[in-house]
Amino acid sequence: MRGHIEDLLTRFEKRLPRALARTISLIEDRAEGYEEVMGRLYRMGCLGSYRVGITGPPGAGKSTLVDKIALDRRFDDREIGIVAVDPSSPFTGGAILGDRVRMRDLAAHRNIFIRSMASRGSSGGLAEATKDVLVAFEAFGKQLVFVETVGVGQVELDVVDACDTVIVVMTPESGDSIQALKSGIIEIADIFVVNKADRDGAEIFAMELQSILDLKEGDASSWKTPIVPTTATTGDGIDKLIAAIEAHRRFMEDNGLFRRHRLGQIENKIREIVDEKIRRSVDERLFTGRDLTEFAEEILAGKTDPYSVAENEFPLTNLFGDI
Amino acid sequence: MRGHIEDLLTRFEKRLPRALARTISLIEDRAEGYEEVMGRLYRMGCLGSYRVGITGPPGAGKSTLVDKIALDRRFDDREIGIVAVDPSSPFTGGAILGDRVRMRDLAAHRNIFIRSMASRGSSGGLAEATKDVLVAFEAFGKQLVFVETVGVGQVELDVVDACDTVIVVMTPESGDSIQALKSGIIEIADIFVVNKADRDGAEIFAMELQSILDLKEGDASSWKTPIVPTTATTGDGIDKLIAAIEAHRRFMEDNGLFRRHRLGQIENKIREIVDEKIRRSVDERLFTGRDLTEFAEEILAGKTDPYSVAENEFPLTNLFGDI
């Protein structure tokens, strides 16, 4: 086992794409030894990659936009990583098949590595696993990393939180989403893209969006979220989008925000590791050998409730000594 | 505060719909006193409602199916609750507006209470809050409860886990999802619905689905997942669907599975309450007054990693006494 991991990490450090793929699988599966691997990856560097998150409704053109940027000539000499996250994938078999074609096309470019992350019917951990993959990309030397997510459910919000620049893609058809925009999306977007800008209503949509953004508080020194019209299929507007990303990156770096962001992520990671260890330990200490059925039966009988059982039968004083 | 809660619960026990709505808001917001309210709700009864979960891709016709069943004459004298869960709602403003019309229509029926649950841009807790709402429905005397979810991301899987009968709705167009069906969906479905059964390819789709189901292991005594073709818009097949739900309900009850299911849910709830209390207490004990930035800086410098910091700086022995 140990030899196997050492071997994998040696090949990883030689930057063999297959070793990256294997490492990601190991992390995704939470396979034996993954924590050791993660620890080693963190030591390979945590500031080397810049992460751009892209979110928006299905069909808004996120993948096409990412592809156009990633394949832009000026990034030919940059190491690029792409993670496509789809928490609802069990129902989107078609999208996954589509991804395969896309992945084959992108794989022709040696500087690009793409991986799709899907919830495989089991609950928990997709956001965590995705963030760990971003660490692997960073350790592997990926300089520019794109994270695509569908929608903004809980998983996606957790994921974009790990990105340095967040792009929200909308289309003129999303017109009635303006209402929804008011709740939550505005806060996460560093750049808005109005894709399919050649369609009817695109200008009006962009204007409405602008008027919402204008209401946003912000002092002179803060970032002003730009709206970039694009037509991903033809490539129109991609130049401006790349310029907007670069501008936001400069803003993040010049103000020390990039570094502070990474520090915050690492602090959260420490907390998560400790919390998870404690959860496991607690389950062992508090619940092992105790049959909860008896309490559940009493609750079904209306004699007590889960909160009272937790309070009376599993008091924290049983767990913590006098410290 | 206390008087306010007592007042609310008094009106709740009088079964005033407004008190139910207020109670749900309090639970959703995790407002002060919600744990006490939840405890009281559990004591009002945990076996009174039967929960039917309905999931499937967007546009499959889930809401229409639920409405047809809920409005079926034979349920006129039953207390019905509906929860519509949409974790990706920030991007589906239209759907939410659509829900309002639907809610107004359903609200005309005094025996029906509908509530939509949406992720409000903050991560965490949607599945938990939804399960708590099901407890409130049960305490309020709702006998038949429908839980609609879009897709099967993590949140949705957690939610359907709280249901006694799970219906997966597909359409002939979901043809290429057959592949995806193999991963995870089969396991959660108690009933399959092929909606829009009047469309081309519906029969072939149902046959393909059947051949996948046939591969599923199962002894003679186990439940055989039926496939029910429906056309929700015209009401075709609704009778058969209701019969299938009733058959599965009998199966669950006759085999003691319904009761066992509730016991298991209550046991999980006890664990969750204890885990959450411990997490909060641990954060206080381990992290208060400790600045993680210093460690994060060392990690950025490549000197250590989050796993080593967790192990060395936050050992569990600091937390647990000698017990």
pLDDT in tens, A263-317: 999 999 998 898 888 888 877 888 888 889 999 999 999 899 999 999 998 887 7
Q: Please answer yes or no on whether B277 and A38 come within 8 Å at the CB atom.
A: no
Are A179 and B97 an interchain contact pair (Cβ–Cβ within 8 Å)?
yes
Predicted complex ipTM:
0.82
The pLDDT, as a whole number, for residue A121 is 43
Contact: A92, B185; criterion CB under 8 Å: no
The beta strand positions in chain A, using DSSP E, are 50-56, 80-86, 112-118, 144-150, 165-170, 191-194, 227-229
Residue B304's closest chain A neighbor by CA?
A43
Q: Do the Cβ atoms of B292 and A271 come within 8 Å? A: yes
CA distance B310 to chain A (A): 6
- Nearest Cα residue in chain A from B121: A184
Other CB atoms within a 10 A radius of the CB of residue A193 amount to: 27
* pLDDT number for residue B248: 97
Give the distance from residue A75's alpha carbon to the nearest chain B alpha carbon, in angstroms. Answer: 26
Size of interface A-B (CB pairs under 8 A): 291
Closest Cβ–Cβ partner in B123, B161, B263 for A300: B263
**Rounded Cα distance, B278 and B144, in Å:** 35
The pLDDT value given to residue B7: 95
Inter-chain residue contact A320 with B152, CB threshold 8 Å: no
User: Nearest residue of A to residue B309 by CA position?
Assistant: A270
- For residue B321, the distance in angstroms to the closest alpha carbon of chain A comes to 4
Neighbours of B33 (CB within 10 A): 13
User: Given pLDDT bands bounded at 50, 70 and 90, which one contains residue B279?
Assistant: confident
Whether B177 and A263 lie within 8 Å, measured CB to CB: no
How does residue B97 score in pLDDT terms, banded at 50, 70 and 90? very low
User: Rounded to the nearest 5 degrees, what angle is found at the Cα of B124, between the Cα atoms of B80 and A212?
Assistant: 95
Interface test with A, best of B174, B274, B276, B294 (most A CBs within 10 A): B274
Give CA–CA dist A259/A111, Å, rounded.
25
- pLDDT, one tens digit per residue, over B212-231 is 888 776 666 689 999 999 99
In angstroms, what separates the C-alpha of B168 from chain A's closest C-alpha?
10
Give the pair of three-digit tokens for residue A81: 């990583």
Cβ(B133)–Cβ(B27) below 8 Å? yes
SS3 A227: strand
Reading the block at residue B174, the tokens are 């979901």
Residues of chain A with CATH 3.40.50.300: 45-270
Q: Please give the Cα distance from B143 to B249 (Å, whole number).
A: 13
Residues of chain B found within 8 Å of residue A183, distances taken between Cβ atoms = 90, 120-121
Could you tell me the two tokens for B267?
């046991």
Q: How far apart are CA B38 and CA B40, in angstroms?
A: 5
Q: What is the residue-level pLDDT of chain A in tens, covering all 323 positions?
A: 678 999 999 999 999 999 999 999 999 888 899 999 999 999 998 899 999 999 887 778 888 999 999 999 989 999 999 998 876 555 544 344 456 677 777 878 889 999 888 765 444 577 888 899 999 999 999 999 999 987 656 666 777 789 999 999 988 876 555 555 555 677 788 999 999 999 888 888 888 888 888 877 666 668 999 999 999 999 999 999 999 999 999 999 999 999 999 999 999 999 889 888 888 887 788 888 888 999 999 999 989 999 999 999 888 776 665 43
pLDDT value of position B72: 92
Determine whether the interchain pair B321/A316 forms a contact, defined as Cβ–Cβ distance below 8 Å. Answer: no
CA distance B246 to B249: 5
- The alpha carbon of residue A309 is apart from the nearest alpha carbon of chain B, in Å, by 7
Classified by CATH at the fold level, domain A45-270 comes out as Rossmann fold (3.40.50)
* Cβ–Cβ gap A306/B153 under 8 Å: no
Q: Looking at beta carbons, which pairs linking A220-228 to residues 24 or more positions away fall under 8 Å?
A: A223/A190, A223/A248, A223/A251, A225/A186, A225/A189, A225/A190, A225/A191, A225/A192, A226/A191, A226/A192, A227/A192, A227/A193, A227/A194, A228/A191, A228/A192, A228/A193, A228/A194
pLDDT for residue A179 = 52
Within 8 A of B42 by CB-CB distance, chain A residues are 299, 305-307
Of A58, A120, A321, the CB nearest to B320: A321
What dihedral angle (degrees, nearest 10) is formed by the CA atoms of A36, A41, A45, A48? -150
The mean pLDDT value for B194-205 works out to: 89
The predicted-structure confidence for B221-271, as pLDDT tens digits, reads as follows: 689 999 999 999 999 999 999 999 999 999 999 999 999 999 999 999 998
Shortest distance between the Cα of B93 and any Cα of chain A, in A, equals 5
Residue A142: C-alpha distances to residues A134, A167, A242 (Å): 9, 19, 18
Q: Which chain B residue is nearest to residue A314, measuring alpha carbons? A: B274
Per-residue confidence at B95, pLDDT binned at 50, 70, 90? very low
Beta carbons of B285 and A320 less than 8 Å apart: yes
Give the DSSP letter of residue B231: B
CB distance B140 to B20 below 8 Å: yes
Q: Which residue of A has its CA nearest to B269?
A: A306
Please check whether residue B282 is in contact with residue B272, taking contact to mean a CB–CB distance below 8 angstroms: no
* Residue B94, pLDDT score: 40
| pLDDT single digits (tens) A70-101 | 999 989 999 999 998 876 555 544 344 456 67
Q: What is the pLDDT of residue A95?
A: 47
pLDDT in tens, B101-143: 777 778 788 899 998 887 654 445 778 888 999 999 999 999 9
Q: Could you tell me which chain A residue has the CA closest to the CA of B94?
A: A176
Token digits of residue A96: 């996954």
Q: Which residues of B touch A27 (CB under 8 A)?
A: none
Mean pLDDT of B166-181: 71
A231: closest CA of chain B, how far (Å): 20
Q: What residues of chain A lie within 8 A of the CB of B293, using their CB?
A: 263, 267
Taking the CB of residue A105, how many other CB atoms lie within 10 A of it? Answer: 13
The residue in chain B having the minimum alpha-carbon distance to the alpha carbon of residue A261 is: B296
Task: Give the residue-averaged pLDDT of B272-283.
Answer: 84
DSSP A196: S
Are residues A296 and B42, on separate chains, in Cβ contact within 8 Å?
Answer: no
Rounded to 5°, angle at Cα B201 from B200 and B207:
150
A206 conformational bin, left if phi > 0, alpha if psi -120 to 50, beta if neither: alpha
B151 vs B17, which has greater pLDDT? B17
Mutation target among A36, A266, A317 for the B interface, most CBs of B within 10 A: A266
Search chain B and give the residue with CA nearest A277. Answer: B316
- Identify the closest residue of chain B to A259 by CA–CA distance: B300
Distance of residue B73 Cα from the nearest chain A Cα, in angstroms: 31
pLDDT of A66 reads 94
For residue B323, list chain A residues with Cβ-Cβ distance below 8 A.
285, 318-319, 321
Give the 3-state secondary structure of residue A223.
Answer: coil
- Partner-chain contact B94 A177, CB within 8 Å: yes
| pLDDT tier for residue B174 given thresholds of 50, 70 and 90 | low
Give the whole-angstrom CA distance, residue A260 versus residue A11.
31
Asked if the Cβ–Cβ distance from B300 to A176 is below 8 Å, we say no
**Yes or no, beta carbons of B296 and A88 under 8 Å apart:** no
Shortest distance between the Cα of A73 and any Cα of chain B, in A, equals: 31
Whole-angstrom Cα distance, residue A158 to residue A184? 13
Residue A50 pairs in a beta bridge with: A144
Span between the terminal Cα atoms of chain A, in Å = 39
Residue of B nearest to A90 (CA): B180
pLDDT on residue A184: 63
Distance from CA of A215 to the nearest CA of B (A): 19
